[in-house]
A and B are shown apart, each in its own frame.
Chain A
Amino acid sequence: MQILINGILLGAIYALLGVGMSMMFGIVKLTNLAHGEFIIMGAFGSTILSSALGINPILTLVVTVPVMFLLGMVLQSVLINRVMLRGAEPALLVTFGLSIILKDAMLLLFTADAQKIGVSYATASLNLGGISISVLNLVVFAISLITILVLTLFLRKTYMGRAIRATSDDTVAASLMGVSVKKTYGVAMGIAMATAAIAGLCVGMRWTFYPSSGGEYLLIAFGVVVIGGMGSIPGTLVAGLVFGLAQVIGGANYGMFISYIVLLVMLAVRPQGLFSK
């Protein structure tokens, strides 16, 4: 039971790590290898703001989310839309280039030191019938779920959200409805980066992180996308839980190794994901 709870708590943040990647994958058809660095950027943003202003780290989202959203829109419209005309491989390599640039830029700015976002309830825990639940993990769990819920509602209920889904189904038909595909891609990247900002906050609150941690989170995000099926938010959520559970069961030493093996087998056997047809 304890393992299950821990796995679920871990799974929600994994789903959050993957949700932005999944959007880019499913909608823009772009594998964004810089997504891990975006997450770490978000983590640094929240660290700096909360310590400089002395505010609750969660409040820093008011700044980091819009800033990252805008960055994403600009990045997509100035650079990535252009490279995507050359095909999927050049676009993949550009995001790869972007990831090494960002990693080293953060290394320069923030040194290689371990970082962590401090919160007053970091060590507090609840005891429910013999199961102990860390308050911090619960807060991170809630943030992750709320983010995914809001994103789902946005995609279901707003014109922009529908336009994003329509574009992912059929770009030509979407343009016939008056949707500018390039602008939609920009918004999708903006949203992906905004979720990375929130994921960064959660990562920073739960774990220590370094400027070089991006790759690790990228692969988790990718794993979630692959297991969940690209562009599917409910799939992402379930995949996050599966991935989180696998890791908790695998233990500290070989947990990640086992997760990677699961991922590889999934990739080979069902690359379209568990939850897509």
Chain B
Amino acid sequence: MSEPILKVEGVQAKYGDFVAVEEATLDVPQGIIVSVIGANGAGKSTLMDTIAGVHKPTAGTITFKGEDITGMPAEKVVLRGLSLVPQGSRCFIRMTVEDNLVMGSYPKAARAKVKDSLERVYELFPVLKEKRNDLSGSLSGGQRQMVAIGRALMTNPELVLFDEISLGLAPTIIKDIYARIKQISGEGMTVVLVEQDTKRAIKTGEISHVMLKGKVVLSGRSAELGEEEIKKAYFGL
């Protein structure tokens, strides 16, 4: 097996005095879908923010494609091919759908391919093409999530972190979005999916990491771990 594309070793992250991630260690092998599972407040989002450079870690190292990116600001991390779809989509609500997507091509390397990337996103989510001139603030939650995903794909990433994209969405829309994610992964992109729903996570992710109270407590191939063991780790039983 080749070197993992992302290695997280002993990462700790705090908000002031509050320790959100106490000690997280996990590997993400290239080209597959990896699930990060945990209950509310387990530190999943903070870990994703820390990997993407939105939040500064207080300890540990993060290695992406062999390069140390610990504490690197988000605007530099994305240039290296690591993109985060943040929790709650965080679209630029006063900009049109297309402007949101084009923002993804802001990195100089991505600008040359802006037309192709845009076409690809519209193929993936045809509804966005229909609404390309609408303000993203006027879209439904699912459509906003699609904008956020599309925007992340526009940056030409090799690894995308999806932070709880299913939160608050209707099951049919979740199903649709997950199908698209599988499609993206099938094209060779590495995917990290953060989920609270164990079933969905195991079904989608080839490898699962379970977080509990700021720690990665269980890691392994989803098929081998089995639902029971993952649920135990999830609740800390």
Interface residues of A (CB under 8 A from B): 159, 162-163, 165-166, 168-170, 172-181
Contacts and interface: CB of A to CB of B under 8 A. Distances in A.
B90 A179 contact: no
20 contacts: A159-B106, A159-B111, A162-B95, A162-B103, A163-B106, A165-B92, A166-B103, A170-B92, A170-B93, A173-B92, A175-B73, A176-B54, A176-B75, A176-B84, A177-B78, A177-B107, A178-B78, A178-B107, A178-B155, A181-B75
A176 B53 CA distance: 8
A178 B90 contact: no
A174 B78 CA distance: 11
Contact of A177 (B53, B54, B93, B106): B106
Contact of A175 (B54, B91, B93, B151): B54
Contacts of A179: 75, 103, 106
A159 B104 CA distance: 10
Nearest to A231: B94
Of listed B75, B91, B107, residue having the most chain A CB within 10 A: B75
A23 B145 CA distance: 28
Of listed A159, A168, A178, A180, residue having the most chain B CB within 10 A: A178
Contacts of B155: 177-178
A162 B101 CA distance: 11
B79 interface: yes
Contacts of A169: 91-95
A177 B109 CA distance: 12
B83 interface: yes
Contacts of B75: 175-181
A235 B152 CA distance: 31
Contacts of B152: 176
Interface in B68-117: 73-76, 78-79, 83-84, 86, 90-95, 99, 102-107, 111
Nearest to B84: A176
B21 interface: no
A43 B95 CA distance: 35
Contact of B54 (A166, A168, A172, A180): A172
Contacts of A168: 94
B53 to A, nearest CB: 8
A172 B49 CA distance: 10
A162 B94 contact: no
A120 B93 CA distance: 48
Given A159-B111, A162-B106, A177 B151 contact: yes
Interface in B117-173: 151-152, 155
A180 B49 CA distance: 16
Contacts of B104: 177
A162 B99 contact: yes
Contacts of A163: 103, 106
Nearest to B79: A178
Contacts of B93: 169-170
B145 to A, nearest CB: 13
Q: Which 6 A-B pairs have the closest CB atoms?
A: A169-B92, A178-B107, A175-B74, A173-B90, A178-B78, A166-B92
B11 interface: no
